[in-house]
Amino acid sequence: MDQMPLTKIRRQAASLRQQVLESLREAIVTGKLEPKRRLTERELTQMMSVSRTVVREALRQLEAEGLVDVIPHKGPVVRELRQDEAKDLYRIRAVLEGLAARIFVEQANRETVNRLQKAVQSVVASYEKSDTSQVLSAKTRFYDQLYNGAESETLSSMLSTLHARIWQWRSLGLTHPQRSDTRSHESIKNLKLIMNAIEKGDADTAEKIVREEANQAAAEVMRLLAYNSVDESVDIALS
């Protein structure tokens, strides 16, 4: 088995469990730990210089987030990206984020609008740098500002749980060798249109475009997953 792309955890203020959790989560969503990869406690403990208890707790959390599956007689493995699951989650995402946009508009103030505008500018800047990590972080901040502006703890909690489940697909759309540059331009355009609708107080348009953005993201993910399926079939046929 290839060595895992993980480093030792430095003991800092943040809990060891949180550091291990974030390190594993990042490795999974960025593809450093590929789907179906076994995650043995012994190997993770040695690689990260932490106890098995800490590793076990982090793996349980990742299982709860939908990033890890526990297979009988095999143990934890990185969850495989499936088209049916992606389709289901993105459909729910479109509805919930559309609702968040509508509520945001209904109770927007200059401060929340300004914060969202800065978040959009950050997304545009990150795309210009072609830095996948920065793009993911910037888009996460945009949606966080959108959810916070809606001021609904229930909706924010539901969306946070949902986003934890779709991290891998978001990363796939930005890192896959067959990703579409057109999709990147499309996403930037959508965020600007969403911002424009919010500034005008147009809740209907804001909700509509947020839903379109989620649906377009889903279409790109489905395309890339289909490409992966074809690629795997070819590899099997040639082996």
What is the CATH number assigned to the segment(s) 83-234? 1.20.120.530
Distance CA 91, CA 60 (A): 26
Position 156 scores a pLDDT of: 92
Mean pLDDT of 77-81: 88
- Tell me how crowded residue 198 is: count the other CB atoms within 10 A of its CB: 25
Collapsing DSSP to helix, strand or coil, 71 comes out as strand
Fold of 16-78: Arc Repressor Mutant, subunit A (1.10.10)
Domain boundaries, the chain: 16-78, 83-234
**Nearest CA among 230, 101, 69, 229 for reference residue 165:** 69
Position 238 scores a pLDDT of: 39
**pLDDT over 70, % of the chain:** 89
Residue 13: pLDDT band (50, 70, 90) is: very low
Distance CA 14, CA 80 (A): 30
pTM across the whole model: 0.77
Residue 164: pLDDT band (50, 70, 90) is: confident
